[in-house]
């Protein structure tokens, strides 16, 4: 009689395994296979069609001596640093404010999370209009009488990243806030009681007790936001298409342009391989911290 529950468990496993097979195959063929294919062809001189004519590191040499690529990397770095710091800082701050047991919390949460429901393309378009000097913020302020007011970041090479950041933060902060809020709600009420008993001020409790306790939440947020930054593409396409000049180019645009418009598959794949590398640089320490850490603990 004891074999019955055993078989039952086995069968349940079998079902789960069968259910997982399509996803396993997809992962292996599409993601792993596609990645390997891309990396291999990054070392070839493929133009429009993939050809296994190896050229060593030529594509990478050309990539790193290309000024547009260098500008892209620089842009991504600045955008990345500011977007990371601001989304997490502002997101956390908003979460803390919402966590003060305020009235209409649901309403505020909905309003703040709403931009995240929009795609980057829509976000980009809306902000392109807002920042357009002829019909956006500048025009409104000038219409109110301050005629010397100038605010056109998207047409000024030095300020175009600021324009992108405004849109990016507007879209992404609400999401970070939600994760943070979930993290804050996960903190045991007893911690707060204990700190109150000890007479520790609220901000100190947040800074020195709650934040260290929320480390996993912060790391997860960091990875999600960082991965999103590296693949930044649609926002730029919708807002500036890389302009003015090359001043808001990002790596993903370089990949697309060289793969499809310039018909240079090898060059595009070399660039995408570099992007893969940077994603791995973000992901590997995270995986190490998350999974390696657990085993030790």
Partner 1 sequence: MKLTTKLLAASAIVSATGAFATDLEVTHWWTSGGEAAAVAELAKLFDASGDHWVDGAIAGSGGTARPIMISRITGGDPMGATQFNHGQQALELVEAGLMLDLTDVAEANDWKNKIFPSTLLDACTIDGRIYCAPVNIHSPEWLWLSNKVYEDLGLPVPTNWNEFVASAEAVRAAGKVPLALGNQPWQSNLAFGAMQVAVAGLDNWKAVNMDKNMEVAAGDAYAAVFQAAADARGLAVGSNVQDWNQATNLVITDQAAGQIMGDWAQGEFAVAGEVAGTDYTCLPGLGLNAYLSTGGDAFYFPKLEDAEKEEAQKRLAAMIVSPEAQVAFNLKKGSLPIRGDVDLSAANDCMKKGLELLASGNVMPSGDMLWTPDTQKQVEDLMVEFWMSDMDPAVAHERWVDILSNN
User: Applying CB under 8 A, which residues contact partner 1?
Assistant: 47-49, 66-68, 133-134, 152, 155, 157, 241-247, 257-258, 260-264, 267
Smaller CB distance to partner 1: residue 56 or 157? 157
Element (H, E) at 149: none
Smaller CB distance to partner 1: residue 216 or 243? 243
Mention every residue, 6+ apart, whose C-beta is less than 8 A from residue 254: 68, 69, 72, 268, 271
Q: Name the minimum Å distance from CB 23 to partner 1.
A: 24
Smaller CB distance to partner 1: residue 147 or 261? 261
Residue 114 DSSP label: G
Smaller CB distance to partner 1: residue 59 or 173? 59
Q: Name the minimum Å distance from CB 158 to partner 1.
A: 11
10 Å Cβ neighbour count for 210? 20
| CA–CA gap between residue 234 and residue 174 (Å, rounded) | 19
Residue 28 DSSP label: I
Please report, to the nearest 10 degrees, the dihedral formed by the alpha carbons of residues 154, 157, 158, 162 taken in order.
30
Residue 27 DSSP label: I
Smaller CB distance to partner 1: residue 91 or 266? 266
- Residue 249 near residue 72, CB atoms below 8 Å: yes
Q: Name the minimum Å distance from CB 48 to partner 1.
A: 4
Smaller CB distance to partner 1: residue 55 or 227? 55
- Of the candidates 176, 173, 165, the residue with the CA atom closest to the CA atom of residue 236: 165
54 has which bridge partners?
44
Q: Name the minimum Å distance from CB 123 to partner 1.
A: 18
Q: Name the minimum Å distance from CB 239 to partner 1.
A: 11
Smaller CB distance to partner 1: residue 44 or 173? 44
Q: Name the minimum Å distance from CB 17 to partner 1.
A: 33
Q: Name the minimum Å distance from CB 276 to partner 1.
A: 21
Q: Which residue has the tokens 């790391």?
A: 219
| CA–CA gap between residue 78 and residue 247 (Å, rounded) | 12
- Of the candidates 125, 76, 40, the residue with the CA atom closest to the CA atom of residue 226: 76
């Amino acid at each position: 009689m004891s074999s019955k529950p055993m078989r039952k468990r086995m069968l349940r496993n079998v079902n789960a395994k069968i259910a997982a097979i399509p996803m396993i195959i997809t992962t292996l063929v599409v993601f792993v296979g596609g990645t390997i294919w891309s990396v291999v062809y990054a070392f070839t001189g493929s133009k429009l069609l993939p050809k296994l004519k190896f050229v060593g590191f030529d594509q990478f040499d050309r990539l790193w001596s290309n000024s547009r690529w260098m500008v892209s990397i620089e842009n991504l770095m600045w955008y990345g640093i500011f977007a990371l710091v601001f989304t997490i800082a502002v997101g956390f701050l908003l979460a803390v404010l919402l966590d003060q047991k305020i009235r209409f919390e649901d309403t505020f949460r909905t309003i703040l999370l709403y931009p995240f429901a929009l795609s980057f393309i829509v976000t980009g378009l809306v902000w392109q209009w807002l920042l357009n000097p002829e019909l956006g913020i500048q025009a409104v302020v000038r219409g109110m009488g301050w005629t010397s007011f100038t605010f056109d970041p998207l047409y000024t090479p030095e300020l175009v990243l600021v324009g992108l950041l405004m849109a990016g933060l507007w879209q992404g902060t609400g999401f970070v806030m939600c994760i943070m809020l979930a993290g804050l709600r996960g903190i045991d009420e007893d911690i707060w009681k204990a700190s109150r008993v000890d007479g520790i001020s609220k901000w100190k409790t947040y800074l020195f007790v709650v934040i260290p306790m929320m480390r996993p939440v912060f790391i997860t947020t960091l990875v999600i936001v960082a991965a999103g930054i590296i693949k930044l593409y649609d926002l730029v396409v919708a807002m500036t298409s890389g302009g003015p000049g090359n001043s808001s180019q990002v790596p993903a645009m370089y990949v697309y342009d060289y793969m499809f418009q310039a018909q240079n598959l090898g060059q595009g794949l070399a660039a995408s391989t570099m992007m893969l590398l940077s994603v791995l640089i973000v992901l590997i320490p995270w995986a190490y911290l998350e999974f390696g850490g657990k085993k030790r603990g």
